[in-house]
Amino acid sequence: MDNRIVFHIDFDYFYAQCEEIRTPELKSKPVCVCVFSDRGGDSGAIATANYIARESGVKSGMPIIFAKKKLSGKNDAIFLPVDFDYYSEISERAMQIMKENSDTFEYVGRDEAYLEVTKRTQGDFKKASHLAQQVKNIIREKIRLTCSIGVSPNKLISKIASDFKKPDGLTVIMPEEVESFLEPLKIRVIPGIGKKTEEQFVKMNFATIKDLKKLDVFALNREFGRKIGTYIFNSARGIDNEPVKEREPTIQYSKIITLKEDSKDYGFLLESLHILCDEIHEVANKNNKMFKSLGIQFVQSDLTTRTKSRMLKNPTNSLEEIHKNSEQLLKEALIDQEGMVRRLGIKISELSDLTGQSSITSYF
Ligand code: DGT
Ligand code: CA
Ligand code: CA
């Protein structure tokens, strides 16, 4: 088939919407989901905020203190800590629905994915629009989550289209509409074009994709190198041949705690490690998972991180294995540890379902 049809689906204000799903009263209030950095107080950044909070100027990545200032007049504003395990749970359920409605499913991150739907829609954009609306409806009914979908002949345009109307948007760009859709848009809508690249174009007095098309591929290659130059040239024309590649989420669970004081003393760190072992074991059990990879993480005093992990011989969910392996990792990591450790984390990955059958093998 010449004409492909690809969806890009992106969940709206994702972490904040997850919080609204769990606590519907939040829907009418400004909600900020925060990554609190350490030891109490308001240090840290906003991961995301709902649209009510965004109206007051709150943005992802903003320091929590700034967000509080922006919302100082709103006494119903809510600031919540991130709960990644819960967001992953919601994400998995929505992704399952999307997967069932695709020929090929490519997971990109907790809140977005590409779906190839060419076969099931016979390359018909009318059928594809219906399918997209249906997927939105099912996700809304079953999970109460809204998302925005871009539908077009390729990943690039669909990605731009899903962001075109938000929240709860559906933007369909047929092949003959690609040019008129892209031309008026700002150059920075092209994925990968960041602030810096945009500034380079602003200096040349270029603002829109239409302006960008005045540059030929040689000029772009001179400016950005051949790879990026060609990418920008093609993107401005809506050309993208990247296939939707089958990709599933690599789920992992992690827990992290801030130590009472910075340290690199084995005995001191071990106390916290024991708590983490219990916590991660509980998470694995709650989700009926075994794991084959175990890792520990140091966030050092200068906030840089260091990780160390190992692959086990067999999948397991045993608390004893968690203790034994993480203690060894801690010992090994401390041998050449230079800086002090501020936060200690534990992570399990390479997960598999704990079924009656396989739980037996984990004892061998
Ligand atoms: P939107 O625009 O309705 O899609 O809103 P979000 O919040 O879904 O934004 P998106 O798709 O860019 O990012 C998805 C999630 O990634 C978001 O819920 C939180 C996280 N995230 C995004 N930007 C940042 C950031 O600057 N810092 C941190 N810590 N997390 C971020
Ligand atoms: Ca999103
Ligand atoms: Ca996203």
20 part of the active site: no
Q: Does domain 253-353 have CATH number 2.30.330.10?
A: no
Per the listing, tokens 């994925």 go with: 191
Give the model's pLDDT for residue 248.
Answer: 80
Nearest alpha carbon, ligand 1 atom 2: 13
Is residue 100 scored above 80 in pLDDT?
A: yes
Q: Using 50, 70 and 90 to split pLDDT, how confident is the model at 291?
A: very high
Counting from 1 in the atom list of ligand 1, the atom nearest the Cα of 49 is 7
**How far is ligand 3, taken at its centre, from the CA of residue 355, in Å?**
33
Say how many C-beta atoms besides its own lie within 10 A of residue 154's C-beta: 22
The neighbourhood of ligand 3, an ion, using CB within 5 A, equals 10, 111-112
CATH architecture type of domain 15-83? 3-Layer(aba) Sandwich (3.40)
Q: Check whether 351 has a pLDDT greater than 60.
A: yes
Residue with CA nearest ligand 1 atom 20: 47
pLDDT 10s digits, 123-155:
999 999 999 999 999 999 999 999 999 999 999
CA dihedral sign, ordered 269, 272, 278, 279: negative
Q: How far, in Å, from the CA of 60 to the mean position of ligand 1?
A: 6
Ligand 2: centre distance to CA 185 (Å):
20
> What predicted TM-score, i.e. pTM, was given to this entire model?
0.77
Mutate to test the pocket of ligand 1, among 48, 91, 166 (most ligand atoms within 8 A of CB): 48
Find the 305 Cα to ligand 2 centroid distance in Å: 26
**Atom 10 of ligand 1 has which residue's CA nearest to it?**
13
Q: What is the mean pLDDT of the chain?
A: 93
Predicted confidence band at 360 (pLDDT cuts at 50, 70, 90)? Answer: very low
Q: Which CATH architecture has domain 183-236?
A: Orthogonal Bundle (1.10)
**Residue 139, H or E segment:** helix 125-143
Residue spans of the domains in the chain: they are 15-83, 183-236, 253-353
> Per-residue pLDDT tens for 329-338?
999 999 999 9
pLDDT bin (cut points 50, 70, 90) of residue 354 is: confident
Instruction: Give the residue, by CA position, lying nearest to ligand 1 atom 15.
Output: 14
Q: Closest Cα to residue 155, out of 8, 1, 4, 2?
A: 8
Ligand 1 atom closest to the CA of 15, numbered from 1 = 18
Give the integer Cα–Cα distance in Å for 27 and 19.
9
What atom in ligand 1 is closest to the CA of residue 12? Answer: 3
Cα(111) to ligand 3 centroid in Å equals 5
Q: How far is CA 202 from CA 160, 187, 198, 229, 360, in A?
A: 20, 9, 6, 17, 63
Pocket of ligand 1 (CB under 6 A): 10-15, 35, 45, 47-48, 60-61, 111, 166-167
Catalytic option among 112, 141, 177, 246: 112
